[in-house]
Amino acid sequence: MAQDIPPKESQQVFFVDDELIERLLRGDVAPSGAKHKRPAHSGSLAAAVALASAGQLDDAVLELERALERGENVVEVESGLGHLYFEKENWSQAAGHYAKVAEREPKHLTAHYNLGLCLERQSKFEEAANAFEAALSLDPKRWQAQIGRGLCLLRLNWPEAALECWDAALRGLPLEKRGQRQDDILFGKAIALHQAGRLEEAVDLYHELLPANPNSPDLLNNLIVLSIARKEETRVKEQAERLLKIQPSSRSALECLTAIALSNSDYSGALQYCSQLVKTAPDSHEGWFNLGAAYQKTGRLEQAASAYREALRLRPQASEANANLGAVLQERGDLAGARELYQRVLTASPDLPGALWNLAIAAEREGRSQQAEELFERLIAAEPDWQDAAFRLGYLQLQRAEYAGAVDCFETCVKKRHDWVDALFNLGLAAWKFEDLDTAAGTFRQLLTMNPKHGEALRSLAAVAIEQKNPGEALECTRKLDSLGTPSPELSYNLGLLLQSMGDHHAAAECYQATLQHKPAFSGAMINLGHAFKAAGKEEEARQCWSQAVGADPDLAARYFQ
């Protein structure tokens, strides 16, 4: 039997007993465990083992490559080369040799597993998972292959399938391998549960592992992430403080404790954590920004300005840091200084993006929309990829009914970020207002493929479909709104009018009835429901509807006689 490669410790694929070297030294090597006599030219294999044992890996590779040229026991020589290249951390070459072994001898007991390890180290997770699966088809009890496949499935974000692997690994783990290895497998299972959104189970498993691994940063970090997701601030604080004792420079712990302190208006605490954070991570824009915020809230404006300037040095386009720096200057009573600062910068560098952005945002907030648009246009001319500027410009144009310009801006945003939900929605609105119904409908559909529960997009698409005289799509949207618990009686009513005008009185009646379920006193819906019933030959039902309409709105009777 060929050897199993020692797996990558950091990813918890464990060492497997290496039988090949012992068998080579005994002289009874046989491919895939077949029982036959030692090959005539196995001296090359033994020589390669001796060279490898002495640390002469390159010479060992040459020995086996020559043996391969001579046609010696191809399977064992290829397997040996795979092992040597793995030792040299040449995962690609190692994978190539193991792939040849697996192709030549599909039932080879270790080639598929070792191939999986090599592929995993090249981040070829799907191929690696397939190789581990092939190893399991030959030996379902190989718990190490279950671990390898589980890790790959986690990397592929297939947590449910990964869970099956972790459970199988636990079932197959020998008693003598229990202890830390069992904990490592359980940790992998907890991550899979976490990925699958089964947060309660993941938390329980993490807490089960914690007593035996109280100083595990990985466990504590994952617990912090889960506690944040569950909005358990007390636990986040407790776990972050515990992690900070283990790792005083833990960036994640310091960031969590800073965020908690700021959210609780504990600015003195935030100062303490931020000061430590920027020493640990001087490249942290967020650290410097939060330090500036803490200084600002405690009235230490000079230090706040310094911190904000450091944050801007790291990320010049950060709008909040620019805005906050301006606010600090204003708070110090230097209103002219704040404006002068950016005017001076723009005089020296007319297209400096950070200054243009800050002034445009300030102008927009002060209601100087025209100036804001001009500044955003200058910014986009200087920085065509500044997507937020295009979005803000489009929004301002949409507000003042400049629909063509708004469409152009939002199309630019969507071309650069296909998944930008707000840009897609505003593009649909602008196109709709511009009376480009096809573009509007297509945009709303694109948004709904990403977020099928986007209520405003469903309402907008339904309204556009009604304008396009497309009752099928409009009806589908209104039904989805109903299923989301956000019905739109107005849409149902307008859809009823469309269907009635198209002669589909039965469907129109259903729409009016849906409207009345949510707005029972809607006299217009009652009257049109009566007309739909009458057109369908239901005279009595029609009279009842009209009678109810008059009861709900007595003015209808007066208008009738007029």
Give me the residue spans of the domains in the chain: 214-333
The predicted pLDDT at position 178 comes to 74
Half-sphere exposure of 345 (CA within 13 A, CB side): 16
**Residues 13, 185: Cα–Cα separation, whole Å:** 9
**Residues 61, 96: Cα–Cα separation, whole Å:** 14
Contact in structure between 387 and 416 (CB atoms under 8 Å): yes
Contact in structure between 304 and 328 (CB atoms under 8 Å): yes
Superfamily of domain 214-333, CATH level 4 = Tetratricopeptide repeat domain (1.25.40.10)
Residue 406: alpha-carbon gap to chain centroid: 29
Long-range contacts at 415-423 (CB < 8 A, ≥ 24 apart): 416/385, 416/387, 417/387, 419/450, 420/387, 420/391, 421/447, 421/450, 421/451, 421/454, 422/391, 423/387, 423/391, 423/394
The predicted pLDDT at position 14 comes to 25
Residue 83: alpha-carbon gap to chain centroid: 37
Contact in structure between 294 and 257 (CB atoms under 8 Å): no
Give the total residue count for the chain: 562
For residue 557, the 8-state DSSP code is H
**Residues 60, 78: Cα–Cα separation, whole Å:** 13
What are the helix (H) ranges across 451-553?
A: 455-467, 471-483, 489-501, 505-518, 523-535, 539-552
Name the residue among 520, 467, 516 with its Cα closest to residue 494: 467
Residues in contact with 359: Cβ distance below 8 Å, sequence separation at least 6, in sequence order = 342, 346, 375
SS3 sequence of 382-401 = HCCCCHHHHHHHHHHHHHCC
Q: Which secondary structure element, helix H or strand E, spans residue 550, and what is its range?
A: helix 539-552
Name the residue among 304, 310, 343 with its Cα closest to residue 324: 304
The predicted pLDDT at position 237 comes to 85
**Residues 314, 307: Cα–Cα separation, whole Å:** 11
Q: Please report, as a single letter, which amino acid is at residue 449.
A: T
What are the helix (H) ranges across 250-334?
A: 251-263, 267-280, 285-297, 301-314, 319-331
Helix, strand, coil tally for the chain in percent (to 5): 75, 0, 25
Record the tokens describing residue 249, joined without a space: 């420079």
The predicted pLDDT at position 32 comes to 37
**Residues 528, 545: Cα–Cα separation, whole Å:** 9
pLDDT string in tens for the chain (562-residue length): 344 443 443 333 322 223 333 333 333 333 333 333 334 345 788 888 888 888 888 888 898 888 888 888 888 888 889 899 898 999 999 999 999 999 999 998 889 999 999 999 999 999 999 999 999 999 998 888 998 999 999 899 999 999 999 889 888 888 877 777 888 888 888 888 888 888 888 888 888 887 877 777 887 878 777 777 777 788 888 888 888 888 888 888 888 888 888 888 898 888 988 998 999 899 999 999 999 999 999 999 999 999 998 998 898 767 677 767 877 876 776 655 666 666 656 765 677 787 788 778 777 877 889 989 999 999 999 899 899 999 999 999 999 999 999 999 999 999 989 899 999 999 999 999 999 999 999 999 999 999 999 999 999 999 999 999 999 999 999 999 988 888 889 999 998 898 988 988 888 999 989 999 888 888 888 888 888 888 888 888 888 888 888 877 776 655 544 4
The predicted pLDDT at position 27 comes to 31
* φ/ψ of residue 302, rounded to 5: -65, -45
Residue 31: alpha-carbon gap to chain centroid: 45
**Residues 135, 284: Cα–Cα separation, whole Å:** 45
Q: Please report, as a single letter, which amino acid is at residue 91.
A: W
Name the residue among 181, 146, 182 with its Cα closest to residue 165: 146
For residue 176, the 8-state DSSP code is G
Output the CA–CA distances (angstroms, integers) from residue 324 to 283, 346, 424, in the order listed.
19, 18, 30
Record the tokens describing residue 26, joined without a space: 């005994």
**Residues 484, 477: Cα–Cα separation, whole Å:** 11
